[in-house]
Amino acid sequence: MGDVLYCNAPNCGAPLLNDAWATTCKHVFCLKHGTEHFHNKRPQSDCPVCDETLVRGRDVKLASSNVNRLCLAGLRPEKILSLLEFNMKLWKQQLDTQRTVDSARIQNLTKEVQETEEKYKRIFKAKEEFLDRQIATLESKCRRLALKLNQKTREIELKNKSMKEETMATYEARQYSPVPSRRSTSTSSLFNLDFLNLDLDSGSFEFDTNLP
């Protein structure tokens, strides 16, 4: 709180840097709220904080921060001491009030932090669960695709095998067929498989580029 008092009006709390209103119930108000509440023609008003009845001109005072040091001049020492005691009590009460306000504020902030933390925990958990579900779906899709790929690979292998067998059968049939009289004719060379380099293991074949 430092060296400054704060307006006690509900929802105000403005620092009292210059003129301010003070009451005998030891509450203080900024110029705006004190004037609104006490600067009227009614002989008495209730304190907006503690509801104590305050008589105008006796229990409420507009105090200036520019207090003339001669304002206590001429007062009896016991009166001055009594004024000092009252003002010290007022200061202490204001410290206590401010401490209560600060402590409530800290409690509210702590609660807010906890709530925010809980909220983000919930959000993260929901996100995590969502991502877990996505991962599970993708994994299952991958498994299905892997199965399909295996199946297709088997089908291709079977097809390759059958093609290889067919090629072999054709090759053998040509080997044992009667030799054409003119081997060098273009027609016979088309059916002569000597120029094919057959790879029987892989089922593939390629042209022999070193043909005569």
> For binding to Zn ion (CB under 5 A), which residues are involved?
7, 9, 12, 14, 25, 27, 30, 33, 47, 49-50, 52
Comparison of 94 and 164: residue with beta carbon closer to Zn ion: 94
- Looking only at Cα atoms, what is the longest distance across the chain? 154
The CA-CA-CA angle for residues 108, 114, 119, to 5°, reads 125
Task: For the CB of residue 9, give the shortest distance to Zn ion in the complex, in Å.
Answer: 4
Contact 65, 17 (CB under 8 A): yes
> How far, in Å, CA of 119 to CA of 41, rounded?
53
Identify the residue whose tokens are 């008092």.
5
**Neighbouring C-beta atoms of residue 30, cutoff 10 Å:** 23
Least separation in angstroms between CB 91 and Zn ion: 15
Instruction: State in angstroms the smallest separation of the CB of 12 from Zn ion.
Output: 3
Query: Between 97 and 164, whose beta carbon lies closer to Zn ion?
Result: 97
Task: Give whichever of 1 and 49 is closer to Zn ion, judged by the CB atom.
Answer: 49
User: Of 9 and 164, which CB lies nearer to Zn ion in the complex structure?
Assistant: 9
| Calpha distance 117→101 (Å, rounded) | 24
Least spacing, CB of residue 75 vs Zn ion, in Å: 25
